[in-house]
Amino acid sequence: MAKKSPEQIKAESRGLRGSIAQELTNSDRFFTDEADKLLKFHGIYQQEDRDARKADRTQDHHSMMIRTKLPGGRLTPAQYIAHDEVASKYANGTLRITTRECFQFHGVLKGELRQTMREINEALVTSLGACGDIVRNVMACPAPTADPHRQAVQDYALRLSDALFPKTNAYHQIWLDGQPLIDDSEIDEPLYGRTYLPRKFKIGIAYAGDNCVDVYTHDIGLVALFAEDGALEGFNLLVGGGMGMTHNNDATYARLGDEIGFITPDQVLPVVAAIVTIHRDFGDRENRKHARLKYVLAERGADWFREELAARVGYAVAPLRPMPPFRVDDHLGWHEQGDGRWFLGLHVESGRIIDRGTYRLRSGIRAIVERFQLPVRLTAQQNILLTDIVADDRAALEALLDEYGIRRVENISAMRRAGLACVALPTCGLAITEAERVFPQVISEFEDALEEIGLGDADIAARMTGCPNGCARPYVAEIAFVGRSLDKYTVFLGGNPAGTRLAKPFIDLVPLAQLVPTLRPVLQSYRDDRDPGESFGDFVMRVGLDTLREQVPAEWRTLGAYGD
């Protein structure tokens, strides 16, 4: 029997049901391929521990990754504690913050999957749409504020999430009801249709001037603009960004969103919904590597897109409005909220909330949230914000940080603060190389090298991914390491600190151990030849990749399939 295509599996899924419920009752530790593809819509990835498989091929090493959906990265104290409980009871004892302001659980066994999903739901959290060919978690700048206009902007993450939520009852029937499934396969999915979207769809909301969500990298980016009196005027609309690509395939590429125009607050929901339908109708359903909305924009053009959008909503969007230059605020450290309370941003290395020796980050955050009943927000930089802190509690909270060995932001280098890494090995099936597990050591090597050459305070944004799909948004970083082959990486240089310029391939197939030594001459050149106040990425683009390439050791100058 011929293997079914993803489009056929979706079309025959009866509203994302497939055989998931039936396969939950068998004794296998894994799901079939067809069920696996539908599980993603439910926020679940089937994975295999590749380290364990290598050590013992006689056993089955499948487990599940569950990603919860948290619009704007917001959780109540009870929701955070519920996540922490699930991590202990069913997962591998850690919480992983994604680059899309969500949580991931790793290591959940198939036999405990239904109970895990029920306990997540009891905390009023869902995972439906956290993965799959659907609108993913809607991101927004998470920094809390007492300003009602800024609160209104953050609330758009929840409003859009609700408006774009699928109508199928499959999720509740499979995971929560435990009753025989009611076949509502004919239920109307006015937004998605029977086959949903050609590929995933991402939305991010930023404030003008603060690009903490990498707003140009989304299928839709909204940039909030305010009048002089602080009132929300509307949003500049960006469309067609995306990070994923494939090595040795020029038809795939990272892309920044096009600046389409300006929309008023009351236009946001209909315009965004219409854009989703444009992707639904024009996205490539034959080639999944070419199925993102960015390819529609790249090949049909922004003018065509504006006309198509106007035809669907009944009006043309207004011209783009001026915006101040972007910067990226990681929101770490202590900040006033504007209502007499404070929030504290804590750095989380590669997004992994874990206890290691005297560094008991997970236990410490749990103790702080429980004691002070603090809401939590997750950031696009994989960090965590503890919010609504009463001024009188600051000293006691600081004491708990010391007790649990949690590092203050002032004790973390600028380069480590800015770093991002994807999960990669051993669980991600797409990973070619390591990322999360080795990136802290790579940053330590950078810190040593920068100190030795007199650049110890350099603020350089570096990111690492285990494959070219770009989950850590590497292609807008000043330095990016993208998994290429076993223990070797393609090095990209030249993104800017604002996240508004794509990096370019610099050198290819560099072994992990040689990443920092290879770039050391480039860092020395930056020290000697930079203009006052010039960022590393701007320096790279001004001097030129060819010039800088001549400075690295000769054996690493090959570009392989890449060029400028």
* Confidence (pLDDT) at 560: 45
**Would the pLDDT of 557 be above 90?**
no
The active-site residue, picked from 467, 488, 501, 520, is 467
Average pLDDT value for residue range 289-310: 98
Q: Active-site residue 471, yes or no? A: yes
Average pLDDT over residues 282-298: 98
User: How is residue 507 annotated by DSSP?
Assistant: E
Q: How far apart are the first and last CA of the chain?
A: 45
Q: Confidence class of residue 522 from pLDDT cuts 50, 70 and 90?
A: very high
User: How long, in residues, is the chain?
Assistant: 564
pLDDT recorded at residue 425: 94
202 assigned to active site? yes
User: Which one is catalytic: 69, 136, 199, 416?
Assistant: 136
Mean pLDDT computed over 129-141:
97
pLDDT digits (tens, 9 = 90+) for 538-556: 999 999 999 999 999 887 7
The active-site residue, picked from 74, 100, 202, 416, is 202
- Is pLDDT at 519 greater than 60 in this prediction? yes
Task: State the DSSP code for 138.
Answer: P
Residue 369 has pLDDT above 70, yes or no: yes
Q: Which sign, positive or negative, has the C-alpha torsion 554, 555, 556, 562?
A: positive
Tell me, what's the pLDDT at 563? Answer: 47
Please state, in angstroms and rounded to a whole number, the distance separating the CA atoms of residues 1 and 125.
39
Q: Is the pLDDT of residue 493 over 80?
A: yes
Average the pLDDT over 130-156 and give the result. Answer: 97
Q: How far is the C-alpha of 223 from the C-alpha of 188, rounded, in Å?
A: 32
Catalytic residue among 102, 471, 484, 488: 471
Cα–Cα distance measured from residue 36 to residue 32, given in angstroms and rounded to the nearest whole number: 6
Q: What's the mean pLDDT when you consider all of the chain? A: 95
- Could you please report the per-residue DSSP string of 313-339? HSSPPBPPPP-PPPB-----EEEE-SS
The Cα 500–Cα 542 span in angstroms is 16
Neighbouring-strand partners of residue 335: 343
What are the chain's domains? Answer: 197-329 (3.30.413.10), 333-414 (3.90.480.10), 428-556 (3.30.413.10)
Predicted local distance difference test score (pLDDT) of residue 389: 98
Beta strands in 451-527, from DSSP E residues, in sequence order: 462-465, 479-485, 488-493, 504-511
Which pLDDT belongs to residue 184? 56
- Model confidence pLDDT, tens digit, residues 175-209: 998 555 555 555 679 999 999 999 999 999 999 99
Backbone dihedral region for residue 239 (phi beyond 0: left; psi -120 to 50: alpha; all else: beta): beta
pLDDT recorded at residue 561: 41
Place of tokens 């959008």: 309
Active-site annotation holds for 67: yes
Kindly state the average pLDDT of the residues 64-69: 98
Residues 165-184: tens digit of each pLDDT: 999 999 999 999 855 555 55
- Asked about 360 being catalytic, the answer comes back as no
Is residue 422 annotated as a catalytic residue, yes or no? yes
Q: Which of 17, 37, 40, 67 is catalytic?
A: 67
Q: Are 305 and 356 in contact (CB under 8 A)?
A: no
Q: Collapsing DSSP states into helix, strand and coil, what is residue 359?
A: strand
**At residue 491, does pLDDT exceed 60?**
yes
- pLDDT bracket for residue 558 (50, 70, 90): low
Per-residue pLDDT at 490 exceeds 50: yes
- Say whether 102 is catalytic: no
Mean pLDDT of the region 44-49 = 94
Q: What pLDDT is recorded for position 53? A: 86
Strands 203-207 and 139-140: parallel
Note if 212 is an active site residue: no
Dump pLDDT digits (tens) for 204-247.
999 999 999 999 999 999 999 999 999 999 999 999 999 999 99
